[in-house]
Amino acid sequence: MKSVGVLISGRGSNLQALLDAQDAPGAYRIVRVISNVEGALGLERARAAGIDALTIPHQGKPREAFERELDAALQGCDLVALAGFMRVLSPWFVTAWSGRVLNIHPSLLPSFPGRDTHERALAAGVKLHGCTVHVVTEALDAGPIIGQAAIPVLRDDTPELLAARLLDAEHLLYPRALAAFAKGEAALLEKPLLSAWT
């Protein structure tokens, strides 16, 4: 079973999905949750589950100093899962944790990397939107894809409605993808996880 450190910046809904599912697959165990934002709701979720939770603020620090603190706090973890962590990791950190950092991104990559994915999807007129779990590399949102889940774009969707509906898919996808990756079975995920939830 792989030990996992989770990095968050906010409410931690994907963290909660990972926590709720960790016993079922028996593939990973969350041992530490770190936020770069003081008072993030996700820290309370972690503490309620008996998980070590701490804040490492990034404000007022050189990027490398902040990431070296993260690196030190994550020692003992086999994998790192980004769950709403609103910082782009530097090449130094990605290299130090090469092949061991996963992220969930709210689009069907390679479409719409970066921010404002829901607005951009609607503006492009796509009929399917979704989320992607991928390995973090130096190139933004361009690492190997572990799994994807798709939902239909509805006629009356707004960015807010689309984002809210997509969360259900994210909460199903991320635990399965993390478990499969932890067990070395990520290649098996492609077909069963590319499906539509309404």
> Hey, where are the domains in the chain?
2-193
For residue 187, name the pLDDT band (cuts at 50, 70, 90): low
Q: What is the pLDDT of residues 65-93, one digit of tens each?
A: 999 999 999 999 999 999 999 999 999 99
- H helix intervals, the chain: 13-21, 41-48, 63-73, 91-96, 117-124, 159-182, 190-193
Q: Which amino acid is at 183?
A: K
Catalytic residue among 105, 118, 129, 134: 105
Q: What is the pLDDT of residues 86-145, one digit of tens each?
A: 999 999 999 999 999 999 999 999 999 999 999 999 999 999 999 999 999 999 999 999
Phi, psi of 116 (to 5 degrees): 55, 40
Q: What is the pLDDT of residue 38?
A: 94
Mean pLDDT score across all residues of the chain: 92
Q: Which amino acid is at 154?
A: L
For residue 5, name the pLDDT band (cuts at 50, 70, 90): very high
Within 13 A of 2's CA, how many CA atoms are on the CB side? Answer: 19
Q: What is the pTM of this model?
A: 0.92
Considering the segment(s) 2-193 as one domain, its CATH architecture is 3-Layer(aba) Sandwich (3.40)
Cβ neighbourhood burial of 127 (10 Å; 0-12, 13-18, 19+): exposed
105: annotated active-site residue: yes
Query: Does the pLDDT value for residue 41 go beyond 80?
Result: yes
CA dihedral sign of residues 62, 67, 69, 70: positive
